[in-house]
A and B are shown apart, each in its own frame.
Chain A
Amino acid sequence: GQNIDQPTEMTATEGAIVQINCTYQTSGFNGLFWYQQHAGEAPTFLSYNVLDGLEEKGRFSSFLSRSKGYSYLLLKELQMKDSASYLCAVRDSNYQLIWGAGTKLIIKP
Protein backbone atom coordinates (compact mmCIF):
# COMPACT_ATOMS: atom_id res chain seq x y z
CA GLY A 1 0.00 0.00 0.00
CA GLN A 2 0.90 3.64 -0.14
CA ASN A 3 1.90 5.36 3.04
CA ILE A 4 3.15 8.76 4.12
CA ASP A 5 4.27 9.31 7.69
CA GLN A 6 4.88 12.57 9.46
CA PRO A 7 4.73 13.53 13.15
CA THR A 8 1.30 14.44 14.45
CA GLU A 9 2.33 17.52 16.36
CA MET A 10 5.43 19.62 17.06
CA THR A 11 6.07 22.62 19.29
CA ALA A 12 8.70 25.30 18.71
CA THR A 13 9.59 28.74 19.97
CA GLU A 14 9.19 31.99 18.07
CA GLY A 15 12.45 32.90 16.31
CA ALA A 16 13.78 29.35 16.39
CA ILE A 17 14.21 26.71 13.67
CA VAL A 18 12.08 23.59 13.27
CA GLN A 19 12.42 20.56 10.99
CA ILE A 20 9.35 18.53 10.03
CA ASN A 21 10.15 15.08 8.66
CA CYS A 22 8.20 13.02 6.17
CA THR A 23 8.81 9.43 5.05
CA TYR A 24 6.95 7.82 2.22
CA GLN A 25 6.28 4.55 0.44
CA THR A 26 4.35 5.01 -2.77
CA SER A 27 3.70 3.34 -6.11
CA GLY A 28 6.10 5.39 -8.16
CA PHE A 29 7.34 8.89 -7.54
CA ASN A 30 6.70 12.05 -9.51
CA GLY A 31 7.53 14.70 -6.97
CA LEU A 32 7.02 15.58 -3.34
CA PHE A 33 5.09 18.60 -2.13
CA TRP A 34 4.78 20.52 1.09
CA TYR A 35 1.65 22.50 1.84
CA GLN A 36 0.70 24.75 4.72
CA GLN A 37 -2.85 24.67 6.03
CA HIS A 38 -4.27 27.02 8.64
CA ALA A 39 -7.26 25.74 10.58
CA GLY A 40 -10.45 25.88 8.53
CA GLU A 41 -8.64 27.01 5.39
CA ALA A 42 -7.44 25.39 2.17
CA PRO A 43 -3.85 24.16 1.79
CA THR A 44 -1.38 26.59 0.24
CA PHE A 45 1.64 25.44 -1.75
CA LEU A 46 5.04 25.80 -0.09
CA SER A 47 7.53 23.71 -2.05
CA TYR A 48 8.12 21.00 -4.62
CA ASN A 49 11.04 18.56 -4.84
CA VAL A 50 11.53 16.05 -7.62
CA LEU A 51 15.33 15.67 -7.51
CA ASP A 52 17.47 14.89 -4.48
CA GLY A 53 18.74 17.83 -2.54
CA LEU A 54 17.70 21.03 -0.87
CA GLU A 55 15.33 23.65 -2.27
CA GLU A 56 15.41 26.99 -0.49
CA LYS A 57 12.65 29.55 -0.59
CA GLY A 58 13.04 32.38 1.86
CA ARG A 59 12.55 31.16 5.42
CA PHE A 60 11.40 27.74 4.18
CA SER A 61 13.60 24.97 2.76
CA SER A 62 12.69 21.46 1.69
CA PHE A 63 14.99 18.47 1.30
CA LEU A 64 14.47 15.22 -0.58
CA SER A 65 16.25 11.87 -0.61
CA ARG A 66 14.50 9.55 -3.06
CA SER A 67 16.65 6.53 -2.16
CA LYS A 68 15.59 6.85 1.48
CA GLY A 69 11.98 7.85 0.79
CA TYR A 70 12.54 10.85 3.01
CA SER A 71 11.93 14.57 3.01
CA TYR A 72 11.98 17.36 5.51
CA LEU A 73 10.65 20.88 5.66
CA LEU A 74 12.85 23.36 7.50
CA LEU A 75 11.33 26.56 8.84
CA LYS A 76 13.68 29.27 10.07
CA GLU A 77 13.07 32.42 12.13
CA LEU A 78 9.71 31.10 13.22
CA GLN A 79 6.85 33.56 13.50
CA MET A 80 3.56 33.15 15.32
CA LYS A 81 1.75 33.11 11.97
CA ASP A 82 3.63 29.90 11.11
CA SER A 83 1.35 28.06 13.53
CA ALA A 84 -0.49 25.74 11.14
CA SER A 85 -0.58 22.18 9.86
CA TYR A 86 2.10 21.18 7.38
CA LEU A 87 1.15 18.53 4.87
CA CYS A 88 3.54 16.32 2.96
CA ALA A 89 2.20 14.87 -0.31
CA VAL A 90 3.74 12.59 -2.94
CA ARG A 91 2.63 12.36 -6.55
CA ASP A 92 2.58 8.70 -7.53
CA SER A 93 3.00 6.94 -10.87
CA ASN A 94 -0.60 7.81 -11.79
CA TYR A 95 0.07 11.48 -11.02
CA GLN A 96 -2.26 11.29 -8.05
CA LEU A 97 -1.33 13.11 -4.86
CA ILE A 98 -1.04 10.89 -1.80
CA TRP A 99 -1.16 12.96 1.37
CA GLY A 100 0.13 12.55 4.86
CA ALA A 101 -2.14 13.38 7.80
CA GLY A 102 -0.25 16.59 8.47
CA THR A 103 1.93 17.90 11.28
CA LYS A 104 0.36 20.46 13.55
CA LEU A 105 3.02 23.03 14.42
CA ILE A 106 2.49 25.07 17.55
CA ILE A 107 4.63 28.18 17.98
CA LYS A 108 5.12 29.53 21.48
CA PRO A 109 6.31 33.06 22.28
Chain B
Amino acid sequence: ETGVTQSPTHLIKTRGQQVTLRCSSQSGHNTVSWYQQALGQGPQFIFQYYREEENGRGNFPPRFSGLQFPNYSSELNVNALELDDSALYLCASSSGQGAYEQYFGPGTRLTVT
Protein backbone atom coordinates (compact mmCIF):
# COMPACT_ATOMS: atom_id res chain seq x y z
CA GLU B 1 0.00 0.00 0.00
CA THR B 2 1.51 3.35 -1.08
CA GLY B 3 1.27 6.22 1.37
CA VAL B 4 0.51 9.86 0.66
CA THR B 5 3.24 11.59 -1.31
CA GLN B 6 3.77 15.27 -2.01
CA SER B 7 6.02 17.18 -4.37
CA PRO B 8 8.14 19.14 -4.27
CA THR B 9 9.61 18.82 -0.77
CA HIS B 10 10.87 22.38 -0.65
CA LEU B 11 10.23 25.38 -2.84
CA ILE B 12 11.40 28.99 -2.90
CA LYS B 13 9.34 31.54 -4.80
CA THR B 14 9.25 35.30 -5.15
CA ARG B 15 6.33 37.48 -4.10
CA GLY B 16 3.80 37.77 -6.92
CA GLN B 17 4.68 34.44 -8.52
CA GLN B 18 2.42 31.42 -8.84
CA VAL B 19 3.02 27.94 -7.45
CA THR B 20 1.55 24.46 -7.93
CA LEU B 21 1.90 21.80 -5.26
CA ARG B 22 1.06 18.15 -5.89
CA CYS B 23 -0.29 15.33 -3.80
CA SER B 24 -0.85 11.65 -4.51
CA SER B 25 -3.40 10.13 -2.19
CA GLN B 26 -3.11 6.78 -0.50
CA SER B 27 -4.36 3.85 -2.52
CA GLY B 28 -8.13 3.46 -2.16
CA HIS B 29 -8.68 6.97 -0.81
CA ASN B 30 -11.04 9.28 -2.69
CA THR B 31 -10.87 12.36 -0.45
CA VAL B 32 -7.99 14.83 -0.24
CA SER B 33 -7.71 17.77 2.14
CA TRP B 34 -5.14 20.55 2.00
CA TYR B 35 -3.81 22.44 5.00
CA GLN B 36 -1.47 25.36 5.56
CA GLN B 37 0.69 25.23 8.66
CA ALA B 38 2.67 28.29 9.66
CA LEU B 39 5.65 27.83 11.96
CA GLY B 40 4.54 27.13 15.53
CA GLN B 41 0.87 26.93 14.60
CA GLY B 42 -1.64 24.20 13.99
CA PRO B 43 -2.74 23.39 10.44
CA GLN B 44 -5.38 25.61 8.86
CA PHE B 45 -7.91 23.94 6.57
CA ILE B 46 -7.74 25.25 2.99
CA PHE B 47 -10.16 22.98 1.14
CA GLN B 48 -11.19 19.40 0.57
CA TYR B 49 -11.85 17.45 -2.63
CA TYR B 50 -14.10 14.42 -2.86
CA ARG B 51 -14.36 12.56 -6.15
CA GLU B 52 -13.01 15.53 -8.14
CA GLU B 53 -15.37 18.10 -6.60
CA GLU B 54 -14.51 20.74 -4.01
CA ASN B 55 -16.33 19.61 -0.90
CA GLY B 56 -15.59 22.29 1.66
CA ARG B 57 -13.41 25.34 1.94
CA GLY B 58 -11.76 27.18 4.80
CA ASN B 59 -11.16 30.90 5.15
CA PHE B 60 -8.68 31.31 2.29
CA PRO B 61 -8.91 33.80 -0.59
CA PRO B 62 -9.76 32.71 -4.16
CA ARG B 63 -6.10 32.87 -5.21
CA PHE B 64 -5.86 29.49 -3.46
CA SER B 65 -7.41 26.98 -5.83
CA GLY B 66 -7.23 23.27 -6.39
CA LEU B 67 -8.01 20.29 -8.53
CA GLN B 68 -8.56 16.62 -8.02
CA PHE B 69 -7.95 14.17 -10.85
CA PRO B 70 -9.73 10.91 -11.70
CA ASN B 71 -6.99 8.94 -9.94
CA TYR B 72 -7.74 11.10 -6.84
CA SER B 73 -4.38 12.84 -6.88
CA SER B 74 -4.65 16.56 -6.29
CA GLU B 75 -3.04 19.94 -6.91
CA LEU B 76 -3.00 23.12 -4.88
CA ASN B 77 -2.40 26.30 -6.84
CA VAL B 78 -1.57 29.62 -5.24
CA ASN B 79 -1.50 32.77 -7.37
CA ALA B 80 0.04 36.16 -6.58
CA LEU B 81 2.17 34.78 -3.76
CA GLU B 82 2.52 36.88 -0.62
CA LEU B 83 5.20 36.70 2.06
CA ASP B 84 2.62 35.32 4.53
CA ASP B 85 2.07 32.33 2.26
CA SER B 86 5.38 30.95 3.51
CA ALA B 87 4.39 27.79 5.37
CA LEU B 88 4.31 24.01 5.34
CA TYR B 89 1.54 22.79 3.04
CA LEU B 90 0.10 19.47 4.03
CA CYS B 91 -2.06 17.14 2.05
CA ALA B 92 -4.10 14.43 3.75
CA SER B 93 -6.14 11.65 2.21
CA SER B 94 -8.98 9.61 3.59
CA SER B 95 -11.55 7.10 2.42
CA GLY B 96 -14.41 9.58 2.63
CA GLN B 97 -15.57 12.78 4.28
CA GLY B 98 -16.77 10.91 7.34
CA ALA B 99 -13.69 8.73 7.69
CA TYR B 100 -12.15 9.23 11.08
CA GLU B 101 -8.56 8.88 10.03
CA GLN B 102 -6.64 11.07 7.64
CA TYR B 103 -3.20 10.12 6.42
CA PHE B 104 -0.83 13.01 5.92
CA GLY B 105 1.87 13.41 3.34
CA PRO B 106 5.30 14.75 4.33
CA GLY B 107 4.38 18.26 3.27
CA THR B 108 5.85 20.91 0.99
CA ARG B 109 7.82 23.69 2.64
CA LEU B 110 7.13 26.90 0.67
CA THR B 111 9.25 29.98 1.23
CA VAL B 112 8.19 33.25 -0.38
CA THR B 113 10.84 35.97 -0.56
Binding site for B on A (CB under 8 A): 4, 30-31, 33, 41-45, 48, 50, 87, 89, 94-102
Contact = CB atoms under 8 A, between A and B. Distances in A.
Contact of A48 (B90, B100, B107): B100
Given A95-B56, A97-B45, A101-B41, A45 B107 contact: no
Contacts, number: 51
Contacts of B58: 96
Contact of A42 (B40, B41, B105): B105
Interface residues of B, number: 22
A42 B106 contact: yes
Contacts of B33: 97
Interface string B4-48: 000000000000000000000000000001010000111111001
Contacts of B53: none
A99 B106 CA distance: 18
B104 A42 contact: yes
A30 B58 CA distance: 17
A96 B102 CA distance: 12
A95 B97 contact: yes
Interface string B32-73: 010100001111110010000000101000000000000000
Nearest to B109: A40
B100 A102 contact: no
Nearest to B104: A42
Given A41-B106, A96-B48, A31 B42 contact: no
B40 A101 contact: yes
Given A42-B104, A44-B104, A101 B97 contact: no
Nearest to A87: B42
